[in-house]
């Protein structure tokens, strides 16, 4: 059974989707640590309610960046983490974490990467930019994390059609529904060792049950 760390800064709806899939038995894993830079966010409230281990890491608590990165890694190692899932985490993942957990850090992005990704593209800003571009479609992307924002190898994508009268809120709602479906699917595949690499690109093997 894989041991997962969730990184979240806000509401944590994808965190909740993964948690619910674990509780239902769909994902064979255990959430062993919830990491956040924001101790008052809803994701931390959800973790507390469900008695999940929490670690808060930010500049206020750990002003020295080297020590901050080191103690984060120590907490991940102590929890024996196999997979890190970013769920609306708004901070850059430290290089020491990216290096140690290479191809073991997943992120969900509410757009079709490589478009509308990178520093500054988060939350509603992404959907606003998509609509302003007059794109015909948007969607969600699950990818492995490297040392650049929204840049690592893509594992899964799913598209949504943008209607003529689409609003930012309607688009966000449609994309979020996709996120809640494909992110747990990728996490499940990782936990079942069904993500294989071909020519340096990840691919999900179809399970017998599928």
Q: Which residues are marked as active site? A: 109
Provide the token pair at 66. Answer: 């080297």
| Distances, alpha carbon 195 to alpha carbons 14, 79, 105, 118, 206, in Å | 20, 23, 13, 25, 9
CB atoms within 10 A of CB 80: 9
Long-range contact set of residues 16-22: C-beta below 8 Å, sequence gap at least 24: 16/46, 17/179, 17/180, 17/183, 17/184, 18/85, 18/87, 18/183, 18/184, 18/187, 19/46, 19/50, 21/184, 21/187, 21/188
Cβ neighbors of 173 (< 8 A, separation 6 or more) are: none
DSSP-based three-state secondary structure for 35: strand
């Amino acid at each position: 059974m894989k041991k997962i760390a969730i990184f979240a800064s806000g509401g944590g709806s994808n965190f909740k989707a993964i948690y619910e899939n674990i509780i239902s038995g769909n994902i064979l894993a255990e959430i062993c640590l919830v990491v956040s830079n924001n101790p008052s966010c809803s994701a931390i409230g959800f973790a507390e309610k469900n008695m999940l281990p929490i670690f808060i890491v930010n500049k206020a608590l750990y002003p020295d960046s080297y020590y901050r990165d080191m103690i984060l890694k120590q907490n991940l190692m102590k929890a024996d983490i196999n997979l890190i899932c970013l769920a609306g985490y708004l901070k850059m993942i430290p290089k020491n974490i990216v290096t140690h957990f290479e191809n073991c850090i997943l992120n969900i992005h509410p757009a079709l990467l490589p478009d509308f990704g990178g520093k500054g593209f988060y939350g509603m800003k992404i959907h606003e930019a998509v609509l302003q571009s007059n794109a015909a479609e948007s969607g969600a992307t699950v990818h492995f994390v490297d040392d650049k924002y929204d840049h690592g190898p893509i594992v899964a994508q799913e598209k949504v059609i943008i209607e003529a009268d689409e609003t930012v809120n309607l688009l966000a709602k449609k994309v979020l529904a996709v996120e809640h479906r494909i992110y747990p699917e990728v996490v499940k595949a990782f936990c079942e060792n069904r993500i294989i690499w071909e020519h340096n690109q990840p691919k999900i093997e179809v399970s017998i049950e599928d």
